[in-house]
A and B are shown apart, each in its own frame.
Chain A
């Protein structure tokens, strides 16, 4: 599974969401989006699931998180590739 990385940690709302949406629109099959952000985008999670996406969040610090977004159908591939690995950007 190939990672597509975007860093939205220095963007003011609503730019992080715009960047994430644009990246998801362009995301190819078999790819996973890795978002580096300062905070968890809680309200986004339920919407992602409703739209057929799965996510996995690693919280490194008060203001540093890594969020993986991929197609729900690719959950198994994601687990095989990345389960247990951490992606600390700092």
Chain B
């Protein structure tokens, strides 16, 4: 039994995570415009400059942006310790990071050396500042070991991914390192470290906490909590030397995670309809579908008499697009639907400890983001995801995808702004009541 206290930090001010959340949809809106103006050629290969801008807009501009904001909140909630000097770290790293991602996207599109150099410097500074603060917390001995260990592995993956990214960018401005060959395998490692290591491991680690917490579900099985994230990380290392073997096991590991997700979600005590749960189920179903698609024999993709698919130029692109859109993005959106109203409500509620009468001003949590609006976002997400799959098969449909993407993320931005506006109006009422 542990009866000792830890050193605690309260939640960082709400505007710090929210600035990361609010800027994230703006990058996807920019991506939608990029798709709209790039035309069909964008979809010819993953090496198209505009495709590189698009993938980095999605992964850095949206996914990483939201995850950076969420980690600021999750560390104090899960581990009991937050970062030091949160306002300085969050504000500075956010500005540098945003500018860095914009510079990176422009550097891919316009191929100017000074843009690449700017991206290199801004992203290194932004990430460097943010990561030094997060690593400062994660090297401490803090509670909730399994999730925190998952966070540690995700952060190590992010550091590896960034180092590879810096090497690749440096190569574009003429700085090369003689002992590393910058080939397709290296960019594959870079991509896998980002998608499976950084984003995937963080999602797995977060799921250990948030599914039992938000949905009153049982804890994940102990062996999953203890070994899954570590196993996937080892497989990522193995991928460097035995790519095909490791990749197959990475898919299977995610299949195991998907089955666990379905099991735990089914066991939850209060089976109230919940859009976040739908997002988790969609994500789990996606992981199972990806296993099927990955292990299907090659002739299903290339045979002219194929019973299932039209000829596909790039199986990797299809699987990656589905993984990003229907797995990573689904979980992140589902989490946003949960944490936006929860954070707003909790920050206001904690102020009532000083003055209990202030509770009268706090609206119901669903007023911050009502259920119907969340359900609408879920269906928009499915439609735009399906249009993404369609455009990979038939690039001439790019306008349809761009428009659905635009609608979905303008809607998400609107929901976020509405939630924030309500938070500040209630906060103002509480301030006024305290002053009178």
Q: Nearest CB to that of B352 among chain A residues?
A: A21
B359 touches A21 (CB 8 A): yes
Rounded to whole angstroms, the CA-CA distance of A59 and B4 in the bound complex is 9
Any chain A CB within 8 A of the CB of B9?
yes
Tell me, rounded to whole Å, the shortest Cβ–Cβ distance linking B84 to chain A: 14
Which bracket fits the contact residues of A?
Answer: 20 to 34
Which residues in window 1-31 of B have CB below 8 A to A? 1-3, 5-6, 8-11
Which residue from B213, B216, B356 sits with its C-beta under 8 Å from A21? B356
CB–CB A14/B346 < 8 A = yes
Given A40-B143, A45-B8, A25 and B356 contact (CB-CB distance below 8 Å)? yes
Contacting A at CB under 8 A, from B378-433, are none
- Mark B306-320 against chain A: 1 for CB-CB distance below 8 A, else 0: 000000000000000
Give A21 to B78 CA distance when docked, in angstroms: 21
Residues of chain B contacted by A56 (CB below 8 angstroms): 3
In the complex, are the beta carbons of B1 and A11 less than 8 A apart?
no
A46 & B353 in contact (Cβ 8 Å cutoff): no
Contact of A42 among B1, B2, B76, B342 (CB under 8 A): B76
A19 CB to nearest chain B CB (Å): 11
**Which residues does chain A contribute within 8 Å of B356, judged by CB atoms?**
21, 24-25
Candidates A13, A57, A58; contact of B342 at CB < 8 Å: A13
> Is A17 touching B219 in the complex (CB atoms < 8 A)?
no
* B212: interface (CB < 8 Å): yes
Which residues from A are CB-within-8-Å of B8? Answer: 42-43, 45-46
CB pair A43 B215 closer than 8 Å: no
Chain A residues with Cβ under 8 A from B214's Cβ? Answer: 12-13
Pick from B2, B6, B216, B353: contact of A24, CB below 8 A: B353
Tell me which residues across on chain A come within 8 A of B212, comparing CB atoms.
Answer: 38, 63
Q: A1-35: which have CB < 8 Å to B?
A: 10-14, 17-18, 21, 24-25
CA of A13 to CA of B342 in the docked complex: distance in angstroms?
7
**A38 and B359: CB pair below 8 A?**
no
B85 is an interface residue with CB less than 8 A from chain A:
no
Q: Give the docked Cα–Cα distance between A43 and B215 (Å).
A: 19
Q: Hey, what's the 0/1 contact readout for A46-75 against B, CB within 8 Å counting as 1?
A: 111011010011111011000000000000
**B349: A residues at CB distance < 8 A:** 14, 17-18, 21
Binding site for B on A (CB under 8 A): 10-14, 17-18, 21, 24-25, 38-40, 42-48, 50-51, 53, 56-60, 62-63, 86
The 5 lowest CB-CB distance pairs between A and B, nearest first, are A46-B10, A51-B353, A25-B356, A42-B80, A59-B2
